[in-house]
Every structure is written in C-alpha cells, then in structure tokens.
Amino acid sequence: MSERTIAVWQGKVRIRVFSKGSGPALVFFHGPWGLHWDPFLDELARTFTVYAPEHPGTTPGVPDEIYQLDGLWDLVLCYDELLDALGVEAAVLVGHSFGAMVACEVAATSPRRAPRALSRPGARCRDCSRPVSPDLSPSEVDRRRGAHGRVLSVGLFPNRACGRVGRRRGAR
C-alpha cells in the first residue's frame, strides 16, 4: 500500500490518499469516523487500483483542515481537484455512509468521473435507478458496472446517503 498527501484548494487543504492494487481505478470515500483500511478494500485491490482519500478533518494530527471548506459543495470540488492531481479521469466511486453521499455528489457533479458503477439496493443516487445486490464480489462489481447507475453506495441510510431525504421503512 502506498500513501501520499496532495494539497488542493489553493494549497489550503491537504488530503492524504492511500492506494493499493492494479487495474481500473476505484475511489473509496469513507464514512464520518475516518478511514480504516480493511479486508473489504484489500479484496477490491485484487481487481482495481483502489484510491482511498481521507476526508479533510479526519486525518490524525490535522483536524482543522475541514475549516477551510464552507460545505459539501467545497468538499466535492476538492475531490474533483484531487482526482485530477491523481490522474484519475474515470473510476468506480464507492462510498460508505457519509462517503456514499460524497461519491454520489462527485458523480453528479462530474459525470465523466463515474461513467459506470453500481447502486446498493434502495439507493437512488440522482440517476441511479436500477439497484443491485450489495453482496457482490469485486469481479461481479467489474462485470456489472456497465449495466447500472453511477455509484456503489454502501451505507446505513441509502436514501440520505444519496442526497435524498427519505424515510426509512416503517418511519412516520
């Protein structure tokens, strides 16, 4: 696994990125509690080149990076700049929890970044209209990614994670 830090947002935000693997690019956006490289990412790295950036403010030792950004839109623009710096033109975008929302917003803002991918059951990421099974192997992700929407969303509240405020089943 390699690690590098890239300055974006006119040098005001430094984003640490971990990467591993070879193959088509896959960008993993973690949830709100920080990035934890785990067997899921190792498995994806067997088929893809996985890029896993840490959200500003979640990197140990530099929690104040987030204060350079005014909101989600600024974060999305930072990631667009980061992907340019990494040389990633198109990728499968994967997100967990808050990261799923970020992945959806990056895909919606720059469709060239995510020409193909998947959506978790129940997730509706703007134009993601055909959900598929969440229990897919990396080879199945690769096989199916041309047949569905833009983003693989792995989150607890998929309707919210995809930028839509919705009620969970049974909620009033």
List per-block mean pLDDT (blocks of 10 residues) for the chain, which spans 172 residues: 96 96 95 91 95 95 90 92 96 89 87 66 42 46 43 40 35 38
List C-alpha distances in Å: 112 to 88, 90, 103, 150. Answer: 10, 6, 13, 10
Residue 172 lies in a domain: no
Q: What is the total count of domains within the chain?
A: 1
pLDDT of residue 33: 86
Residue 166 lies in a domain: no
Residue 149 lies in a domain: yes
pLDDT of residue 131: 34
What CATH number does the domain containing 90 carry? 3.40.50.1820
Domain region containing 156: 2-161
Residue 119 lies in a domain: yes
pLDDT of residue 104: 86
Give the whole-angstrom CA distance, residue 57 versus residue 15: 9
> To the nearest 10°, the Cα dihedral for 86, 92, 97, 102?
50
Residue 58 lies in a domain: yes
Residue 60 lies in a domain: yes
Residue 167 lies in a domain: no
How buried is 18 (Cβ within 10 angstroms: 0-12 exposed, 13-18 middle, 19+ buried)? middle
> To the nearest 10°, the Cα dihedral for 13, 81, 48, 97?
60
Cα angle 98-103-99, degrees, rounded to a multiple of 5: 20
Q: Which residue has the tokens 């987030």?
A: 66
